[in-house]
Amino acid sequence: MAAEKYFIIGIGGTGMRCIEAFTHLCAIGLFDNKEIDILSIDTDTNNGNKGRSEQLIDRYIRIKGGADGKPTANSFFTAKLNIYKFAPEYSGNRLTYELISGLNSGSADTKKENKALSDLFFDDDVQKFKLDHGYRAQTHLGSHLMYHCIVEAAKNVSKGGRRKEDLELASFLDKIYQAGENARVFILGSIFGGTGASAIPIIPKALKDAVRIKDKNAEIHPKAKFACSLLSEYFNFDVTGIAAQKKEEKIVADCNNFSRNSQAALMFYQADATVKATYKLMYHIGWPKKADFSQGTTSAKTITGGGEQKNPCHITELFCAFAVYDFFNRVDGLDQHDIIFKSANFQNNSFLFEFKDFLGADNAKELMNKMGSFLAFSHIIINAEKGGFGQNGAANLVKKFKEFNIPDYINLDVNDAKDIDEFVKAFSFNYDTKGEIIPGWLYQIKQSVEGDFLFTTDALSTNKKQLKEFNFGQLFREEAYQFAKDGKIMSGKPYEEFRNTIQKDLTVKPSPDKQKVERLNERFLAHTYNTLTKLYKIVNL
């Protein structure tokens, strides 16, 4: 049997944050031995979330050695990722539906007919609003435009067009086509907003049609497997100034409609024959409360998109990333028609998540070790090696290795070390110039849960003194998985134990056979991964 090929498509602001969560799971090493092609689609090219997740993936790819990188195993950063960026062209004479559709071109009769036809489907305001901030929850318009922009991109490329975004989409399509029946394609996005909700129903068909347009003899294999997240509403934002904004911009996404949008979308997915025939698995993910995405913003206006839209990460996006894990690793159950329900322990108005809630009991320890080790690695780089205080933490750690006769990594490129630093800061936390904490992805996830989250309370503390002094040997509540415990002579110092182990224990050296690590920074990462795995004793090295 040929190896499976893995593809992810992230659409819209929420899709981008799901990709961000997925990339962090790749960084902790959850997708061993896999090469994954990621397509990011957003109508809003300057969107802050899009920029953030693409920057993260770009950094990940650099850490893996760029195009020449290879998948590895049992370490950090094991999956090989490839990114393709596509965005419809919504500017100039393609800024509104009215302009794109050429409603005002042709003879007077044609114009009249075009207008009458458009009016059947879209309100006048919908036809005229600017599309550069996305579809603004107008999914009927969004599905129509998204389908056509993908098909148009394929047409452009087949005619020799050189638009960068179209070429990247074409490359992604080629990969799916070449994967044949081994393609597993996961589509990430929300069903309550604009771009993602618009795209999820039409993407498989749009991709199939686009492949055929590019090459009439080609087609996406009928047995290629598609899955998607159906992420229902989980956040809202301040809409007090929305009336005035609507006067100016005509169409503004209103979070008061998010629940209704979700319900309508779910009813559609349940009834639509094309959707049911296309998707093998749909992961419906919900959240009982709504996060306030207006917090911390100073703007009185609803942020419809653009660089300002940098919403914090949320646990539902992490669930979506785990849905990808399930789909990519699933060996059976791809043809069943059952609805399977899963929840977690809910007490005192908050969830008490355990590792098994994410990957099941069988793989809980693997997740625990990998996420815990990466968080500990963050503490080492940011706090102990001063990466959070203006220094290059990874480079400092390399120098420490060398001081004690482990000069193996001394030629690690300073930019590689910097990328590792920046990645772990994006994963966990950083300090600003005043020493205040800047919460990274995991901290933002924890904040969205409103209670303890997987690790001890202090492990994800937002108190800067507590965080700086945190004993990362005590990440886990279970005593069996702690090291550097307080109260023993010469103990309570996790960095000491980390350094002692890395310096004296030869079994933690990277294994080229088991871990498949060839590049210098991969060996360095594998060495630290092995050391932390040995110290936590959750799984055998």
Partner 1 sequence: MLMTILNLITIKTPAQLSSLSIQTYILGAILGVVLLLIAAIIATMIDYIGGSSDEDSKKRRFWFWVLFSLSFIGFFLYNMFIVSKTIAPNLESKFMITNIIGSIIATVVYLILGIILSKIFSKGKLGSWFPSKKNN
Task: Note the residues at the interface with partner 1 (CB under 8 A).
Answer: 380, 383-386, 389, 391-393, 396-397, 399-400, 402-407, 490, 493, 495-496, 499-500, 503-504
Classify 291 as helix, strand or coil.
Answer: strand
Q: What is the nearest approach in angstroms of partner 1 to the Cβ of residue 380?
A: 7
Q: How far apart are CB 532 and partner 1 at their closest, in Å?
A: 15
Smallest separation (angstroms) from partner 1 to the CB of 405: 5
Tokens of 332: 């059976």
Nearer to partner 1, 361 or 410 (CB): 410
Decide whether 493 or 519 has the Cβ nearer to partner 1. Answer: 493
- Least separation, in Å, of the C-beta of 413 and partner 1? 17
Query: Which CB sits closer to partner 1, 400 or 464?
Result: 400
Nearest approach in angstroms of CB 394 to partner 1 is 11
Determine the longest span between alpha carbons in the chain, in angstroms.
Answer: 91
In whole angstroms, what is the distance from residue 38 CA to residue 48 CA? 18
Closest approach of Cβ 356 to partner 1, in Å? 34
Taking CA 61 as the corner, what is the angle to CA 307 and CA 85, rounded to the nearest 5 degrees? Answer: 45
Q: How far is the CB of 391 from partner 1 (least distance, A)?
A: 5
Q: How far is the CB of 510 from partner 1 (least distance, A)?
A: 17
CA 44 to chain CA centroid, Å, is 17
| Closer residue to partner 1, CB minimum distance, 346 or 404 | 404
Residues 6+ apart with CB under 8 A from 198: 135, 138, 139, 141, 142, 143, 145, 146
User: How far is 179 from 34, CA to CA, in rounded Å?
Assistant: 14
Cβ proximity to partner 1, 353 vs 498, nearer residue: 498
CB atoms within 10 A of CB 499: 19
List phi, psi (to 5°) of 200: -55, -45
Instruction: Classify strands 35-41 and 5-11 as parallel, antiparallel or unpaired.
Output: parallel
CA distance 238 to 473: 41
Buried b (16+ CB within 10 A) or exposed e, 349-363: eebebebebbbeeee
CA distance 169 to 155: 12
The smaller minimum CB distance to partner 1, of residues 136 and 425, is found at: 425
Output 121 or 404, the one with its CB closest to partner 1: 404
- Looking at beta carbons only, is 360 or 407 nearer to partner 1? 407
Region of 496 on the Ramachandran plot (φ > 0 left; ψ -120 to 50 alpha; else beta): alpha
Report the C-alpha gap between 276 and 270 in whole angstroms.
7
Q: Which residue's CB is nearer to partner 1, number 325 or number 401? A: 401
Minimum CB separation from partner 1 for residue 169, in Å? 45
